[in-house]
Chain A
Amino acid sequence: MTVDDVEFREFFAAQYARLCWLGLLLTGDQAEAEELAQEALVRTWWRWVVHRPNDPAAYARKVLVNRRRSLLRRAGVESRFLARTRLERSRPPGDEQAMVLWEAVQGLPPRQRAVLVLRFHEDLTEAEVARLLGLPLGTVKSLAHRGPARLRDRLGSPELDPTTPRREAR
């Protein structure tokens, strides 16, 4: 194992779980998240071999987000159908309120969800989110404004309000 391999292994150990979590926030699916993280790390390794990026973690995050976008583009209809029909979604441990909020975030459209995740999980500025997603700054601002508003609406609805007793599944 070369020095680079040792160094990359340390990088892998530090970033894998973080990338998986980011993938889970973006996709809502654990297996898909692991796939995205692995792909992002393989591409980062190739870049590392040719020319090591200044910030490998940011590079890997960018690869993951872009990969997610291209997969969405490639199979938009299919993924939307699967997202609608998927019964078992991965849920983070937490109280009921957190779960309700998590469900609400997962119910957002992909772009709105990506903006919220990058803003509130990765703590990126709106300009950085716009660069990363390849969107105009105005669009990101609009999505960042409309996302929480939509969440508020959904959290206020009886369906997602944790205090409202849920209807039993048939």
Chain B
Amino acid sequence: MTPDSRLEDRLRATLHRPERSPWPDDHGAFDQFLRRRTRRSRALAARGALAVVVALALPAGLPRLLPSRPVAPATPPVTGRPLQMPAGGFEVLVPTGWTDLSRSRRVITPASELGSGVALRPMRRAANTFVMLHTTVLSPAQFPGTEPGGGDPDPSVAADRATERLEDRGGPLGRGRRPDGRPSVWQQTLLGRTRWPSTRSPGRTTAPRSRPVRRAPAGGP
């Protein structure tokens, strides 16, 4: 007999349940089993009932859990009359309570530098409070992605880009919303410069295929 088989035999003998096992077939164990089975049945029934209640209550209660008031947009919608600037190639919504200074006097100076634009101010006059919008014409070399010495970019593509890439040089207050989240108070001149797919001289009409840039100043006094 090898040592391995001896050990296995000893293991079998040791692990074998002896006659005087600690668990005689008593009735107490079965009673305990019945109690445990009843507890388990009740727990399962309660869990099922809870699932049914949740399933029924969820469609009714979910709308109440959601916020009832619609969340205010970050930039309030601007209502007003549209003001077209064909020479500048854009259109702007003059917000209610604002007026464009061009009705009284021209403020776009010098025209050779700024091109055609519009200046807006609140009707309730405040000192030096106005917003100036204008377009300017850049040389093709200033277009991003334009190869030196290449021709003008495709006007339609560049016009689309122009609507999306208004360069803001007015500082943080010129974005229509202050850093603290409140609407800007328009106390700073907003100087926007759009890339334009044309090398035409300032003041002349834009390329016929390009779409006008539509900008609406956000916020209010």
Q: Which residues of A contact B (CB under 8 A)?
A: 9, 12-13, 16-18, 20-21, 24-25, 30, 34, 38-39, 41-42, 45-46, 90, 92-94, 97-98, 101-102, 105, 116-117, 120-121, 148, 151-152, 155
Contact A21 B36 (CB under 8 A): no
Q: Which of B8-16, B129-137, B180-188 lies at the interface with chain A?
A: B8-16
Contact A17 B11 (CB under 8 A): no
Interface residues of B in 1-27 (CB under 8 A from A): 3-4, 7-8, 10-18, 20-25
Whether B47 sits at the interface, judged by CB under 8 Å, is no
Among A18, A38, A41, contact of B17 (Cβ-Cβ < 8 Å): A18
Contact A93 B37 (CB under 8 A): no
Chain A minimum-CB-distance residue to B15: A121
Total contacts A-B at CB 8 Å = 77
Could you mark each residue 14-48 of chain B with 1 if its beta carbon is under 8 Å from any beta carbon of chain A, else 0? Answer: 11111011111100011011001100100000000
Contact B21 A120 (CB under 8 A): no
19 extra interface residue pairs, beta carbon distance < 8 Å, beyond A101-B11, A105-B11, A120-B8: A13-B30, A17-B21, A17-B23, A17-B25, A21-B21, A34-B23, A38-B33, A42-B33, A42-B37, A45-B37, A92-B14, A92-B18, A98-B10, A98-B14, A101-B14, A116-B15, A120-B12, A121-B16, A148-B8
Majority secondary structure, A binding face: helix
Contact B14 A13 (CB under 8 A): no
Q: With A38-B32, A152-B3 as given contacts, are A105 and B15 in contact (CB-CB < 8 Å)?
A: yes
List A contacts of B36 (CB < 8 A).
38-39, 42
List B contacts of A116 (CB < 8 A).
11, 15
Contact A13 B25 (CB under 8 A): yes
List B contacts of A94 (CB < 8 A).
14, 18
Contact A152 B7 (CB under 8 A): yes
Among A38, A93, A117, contact of B20 (Cβ-Cβ < 8 Å): A93
Among B16, B22, B32, contact of A90 (Cβ-Cβ < 8 Å): B22
Contact A16 B23 (CB under 8 A): yes
Minimum CB–CB distance for B64 against chain A, Å: 37
Among A38, A46, A102, contact of B14 (Cβ-Cβ < 8 Å): A102
Q: List 13 A-B pairs, Cβ < 8 Å.
A: A24-B22, A34-B29, A38-B33, A42-B40, A98-B13, A101-B11, A105-B14, A116-B15, A121-B12, A148-B4, A151-B11, A152-B3, A152-B7
List A contacts of B29 (CB < 8 A).
12, 16, 34, 38
Minimum CB–CB distance for A51 against chain B, Å: 17
C-alpha spacing A130/B30, complex, angstroms: 31
Chain B minimum-CB-distance residue to A20: B23
Minimum CB–CB distance for B46 against chain A, Å: 16
Contact A17 B24 (CB under 8 A): yes
List B contacts of A20 (CB < 8 A).
21-23
C-alpha spacing A42/B33, complex, angstroms: 7
Contact A17 B7 (CB under 8 A): no
List B contacts of A121 (CB < 8 A).
12, 15-16
Q: With A12-B33, A42-B33, A148-B8 as given contacts, are A25 and B22 in contact (CB-CB < 8 Å)?
A: no
Could you mark each residue 63-95 of chain B with 1 if its beta carbon is under 8 Å from any beta carbon of chain A, else 0? Answer: 000000000000000000000000000000000
C-alpha spacing A94/B19, complex, angstroms: 11
Contact B15 A97 (CB under 8 A): no
List A contacts of B25 (CB < 8 A).
13, 16-17
Chain A minimum-CB-distance residue to B22: A30
C-alpha spacing A89/B135, complex, angstroms: 90
